[in-house]
Amino acid sequence: MITTSALTKRYGAVAVVDGVDLAVAEGDRYGLLGPNGSGKTTLIRLLLGLVYATSGDIELMGHPVPRGLDAVLPQVGALVEEPSAYGHLTGRTNLAILDAAGPGGARRTRRSRIDAALDKVGLAGIDNRPVKAYSMGMRQRLGLAAALLRTPRLLVLDEPTNGLDPQGIREIRDLLHQLNTAGTTVFLSSHLLAEVDQLCTRVGVVNQGRLVLQSDLADLRTPTGRVIVATPDADRAAALLDGHIEHRTGDRLLVRDTDPAALNARLVAAGVRVEQIAAERRTLEDVVLAVTRPGSDRVDRPDDRR
């Protein structure tokens, strides 16, 4: 669906996107993570042909970008940074302008397209207020409606849940799930780990313009080789497992062991009551923090750097 090779964008001497090899397959829910200023938005602009690459290649749905954009973009819905609309016009008029501006779709069916899109994002009952009177969450929903207007095969969304409340975030997540089940590939960027964790099947992590990690989410959550045990008999368990305890807080033990089932049997056999036992797994947060550095919005004094 999306393939880039050695994609690089320089502004002067600074490489904002640096040798990125992205691979998004059809049907993926792909989450692009990275600190602020790591190049996520520039990468998205490159994919959509808004910004031209310094070097490297991009392919979307088998067409080269930017040369094949005319064939590609009608099948893409996008939200790039914040949504925008003509503030003095209503949401419906804004969608109508956007619908009429590009190719495809009869004028006759425009109204039903707009209604369907508004319905999906929860704005079906929208009144005739101008967009400048909308709340941030409503603007975000309108932006999503614009992206969905042409029932795209690929959705490219930059921070899609920005400005939404927890309820709204949940709604949008469910919507994206639904669309994905119906065959739409979803590619989204975010700096919210939880959002990506709950929605995506595949993640890419960018740091200072480089793609430092790209993997299926399931593969990232590997066991760490430790088991978490919670027991009211923590002292006895600690004595029994002497030498294997890495850490103890109250009645929670972190045990170096790879087989929780065997460990459980052993504890129970020794008369230790086990409340909880599970293999410790890496979280997305652990993985991402291990491969990224603080975002560009953090500026340390030079002598603080080591």
Partner 1 sequence: MIGVELGKVGRRPRTWVSIGMLCALPALVAIFLAVTERGPGPGEEPAFLSAVLANGALFPAAALAIVLPIFLPVAVAVVGGDAIAGEASAGTLRYLLLRPVSRTRLLIAKLVSLVAFVLAAVVLVAVTSFIVGITLFPSEPAAVTSVSGVTLTANELVARIAAAVIYVAVSMLGVGAIALFLSTVTDSALGAALGSLAALVTSQVLVTLDAAGAVRPYLPTRYWLAWIDLFRDPIPWRDIDRGLALQAVYVAVFLAMAWANFATKDITS
Of 122 and 143, nearer to partner 1 (C-beta) is 143
**In terms of C-beta density within 10 A (0-12 exposed, 13-18 middle, 19 or more buried), how is residue 285 classed?**
exposed
User: Which listed range, 24-32, 85-93, 180-188, 276-284, lies at the site for partner 1 (CB under 8 A)?
Assistant: 85-93
Rounded Cα distance between 234 and 273, Å, is: 9
Encoding tokens for residue 19? 């040798």
Q: Name the maximum alpha-carbon separation found in the chain.
A: 78
Encoding tokens for residue 230? 């919670």
Q: Does 121 bind partner 1 (CB under 8 A)?
A: no
- Give strand pairing partners of 4: 58
Of 85 and 206, nearer to partner 1 (C-beta) is 85
The binder of partner 1 chosen from 84, 198, 201, 224 (CB under 8 A): 84
Of 89 and 254, nearer to partner 1 (C-beta) is 89
Q: Nearest approach, Cβ of 165 to partner 1 (angstroms)?
A: 23
**Site residues (CB under 8 A) for partner 1, limited to 60-79:** 69-70, 73-74, 76, 78
Is the Cβ–Cβ distance between 55 and 210 less than 8 Å?
Answer: no
Query: C-alpha angle with apex 246: 243 to 251, nearest 5 degrees?
Result: 100
Is the Cβ–Cβ distance between 160 and 188 less than 8 Å?
Answer: yes
Residue 167: which residues within 8 A CB-CB, separation 6 or more? none
User: Which listed range, 22-30, 45-53, 169-177, 229-237, lies at the site for partner 1 (CB under 8 A)?
Assistant: 45-53
Q: Nearest approach, Cβ of 135 to partner 1 (angstroms)?
A: 17
User: Which listed range, 48-56, 176-184, 229-237, 286-294, lies at the site for partner 1 (CB under 8 A)?
Assistant: 48-56
Q: Does 188 bind partner 1 (CB under 8 A)?
A: no
The binder of partner 1 chosen from 1, 15, 61, 89 (CB under 8 A): 89
Of 19 and 105, nearer to partner 1 (C-beta) is 105
Q: What ranges make up the beta strands (E) of 197-265? A: 202-207, 210-216, 223-230, 245-249, 252-256
Q: Nearest approach, Cβ of 102 to partner 1 (angstroms)?
A: 4
Q: Does 81 bind partner 1 (CB under 8 A)?
A: yes
If one counts every other C-beta atom within 10 angstroms of the C-beta of residue 182, the result is 8
Interface positions with partner 1 (CB under 8 A): 45, 48-52, 69-70, 73-74, 76, 78, 80-89, 97-98, 100-103, 146
